[in-house]
A and B are shown apart, each in its own frame.
Chain A
Amino acid sequence: MSGSSNLVAMKKIVQQLRFEASINRVKVSQAAADLQQFCMQNALQDPLLTGVSSSTNPFRPQKVCSFL
């Protein structure tokens, strides 16, 4: 009966919404400040921000050795 399966589905949706409505939320100011702090703390170790020097760049095209 599609009627009763719709009912079952709807009950599940309501149950899920009840759960989601009950969670504790942290203020955006606090959450955003923490994200920002994480970013800043890790910035110096982020190679794509600081740049990768040629000598340590593993992707740099290999230099070709030539015999003089």
Chain B
Amino acid sequence: MGEMDTLKKEADGLKAQIEAGRKAVNDTTMATLASGVAAAPRVQLKNRKTLKGHLAKIYGLHWSADNRHMVSASQDGKLLIWDTYTGNKVYAVPLKSSWVMSCSMAPSGNLVASGGLDNMCTIANIKGASPKTLRELDAHEGYLSHSRFLNDSEILTASGDTTCCLWDLETGKQKVIYKSHVGDCMCLAVSPDQNTFISGACDSSAKLWDIRDGGCKQTFIGHTSDINAIAFYPSGTAVITGSDDCTLKMYDLRADQEVNGYQDAALNAGVTSVSLSSSGRLIFAGYDNFNCNIWDSLKAEKVGVLSGHDNRVSCIGVPDDGLGVCTGSWDSFLKIWN
């Protein structure tokens, strides 16, 4: 018992040390610095396209690297791949399990991944005559909440079993397991340079990981409930998190702390999804209250809203060229705005 107490004391001491280290560099606020910056224009984005085709709640969407195609996942048991310029469905991938929670497309556009309450990540090749299952990645002990391809032979997954994992698609086996969270992992995002990734979990923390060695480099605290959504700032030096505590936060990786918060006393709906415009100035956040709010990332002010869905906005994405933003909802529709 003695050793446990000693360790607990050491842990508490280290936490205090980290807190003190963060305070020591906390010499100003982002809001103070941003007061000199011109306000972002009042953003009025129009709904340019509504993609209709799913028959049940949409749980995930991911833009292709070609900025034109997109994959969406619904609990109607299908992945749909869309040509967003025409609004047409290009492929439909039937899922073995309809309890899907996420989907993603490889940068090459050849592969898509999906997974959910089946605890598996299923990889399909969509470039043949008809979509074919390539691999079933089966080792997580909890639901699959999120996935992102690094390339056609590696994929990262986040799971309700509190771990994240890097898989080798040639062998179907786990290459690296990222263990440190003490709550379900809900989301992940890969850094622009692909050396690190960030995860958000139900333990209210976000963690930065070295992809290759599996080590947790930094832990960001402050949220008071599950982190459902996470995104890298395009510079790669900050991350934005969205939580069930109804707020979003910006954590700077170099200052190792929260540098901005996005909240409104009138807002009491959890954040489900987050995405950024190409300069990072605009944060698009989907909420449980059916709306998507647009925040000025520097001044922490609300500068617009995307309304039009009849149910929770569950997923959001901006393509690499930044030409639009897509929202996906439990109302079964995807809407593209710019």
Find the A residue at minimum CB distance from B11: A14
Contacts of B255 in A (CB 8 A): 25-28, 30-32
Report yes or no: A48 in contact with B7, Cβ–Cβ below 8 A: no
State how many residues of chain B have any CB contact under 8 Å with chain A. Answer: 65
Report yes or no: A23 in contact with B256, Cβ–Cβ below 8 A: yes
A14 to B48, CA, bound (A): 52
Total A-B contacts with CB atoms under 8 angstroms apart: 176
Confirm or deny: B37 has a beta carbon within 8 angstroms of a beta carbon on chain A. Answer: yes
Report yes or no: B40 in contact with A35, Cβ–Cβ below 8 A: no
Confirm or deny: A63 has a beta carbon within 8 angstroms of a beta carbon on chain B. Answer: no
Of the stretches B13-21, B98-106, B167-175, the one at the interface is: B13-21
Q: Within the complex, which residue of A10, A25, A59 is in contact with B11, where a contact is CB–CB below 8 Å? A: A10
Report yes or no: A21 in contact with B30, Cβ–Cβ below 8 A: no
Report yes or no: B252 in contact with A48, Cβ–Cβ below 8 A: no
Report yes or no: A35 in contact with B252, Cβ–Cβ below 8 A: yes
Confirm or deny: B8 has a beta carbon within 8 angstroms of a beta carbon on chain A. Answer: yes
| Contact flag A34-B33 (CB < 8 Å), given A21-B21, A61-B49 | no
Report yes or no: A10 in contact with B256, Cβ–Cβ below 8 A: no
Confirm or deny: B128 has a beta carbon within 8 angstroms of a beta carbon on chain A. Answer: no
Give B213 Cβ to nearest chain A Cβ, in Å. 12
A43 to B338, CA, bound (A): 16
List 7 other contacts, CB 8 Å, given A21-B21, A25-B254, A46-B281. A16-B180, A16-B219, A28-B257, A32-B29, A34-B254, A38-B279, A46-B279
8 residue pairs bridging A and B, Cβ less than 8 Å apart? A21-B17, A23-B217, A39-B298, A42-B279, A46-B277, A46-B279, A59-B49, A59-B338
Chain B interfacial positions (CB closer than 8 Å to A):
3-4, 7-8, 10-11, 14-15, 17-18, 21-22, 24-30, 33-34, 37, 40-41, 43, 45, 48-49, 68, 84-86, 180, 215-219, 233-235, 237-238, 252, 254-257, 259, 277-282, 297-298, 318, 321-325, 336, 338
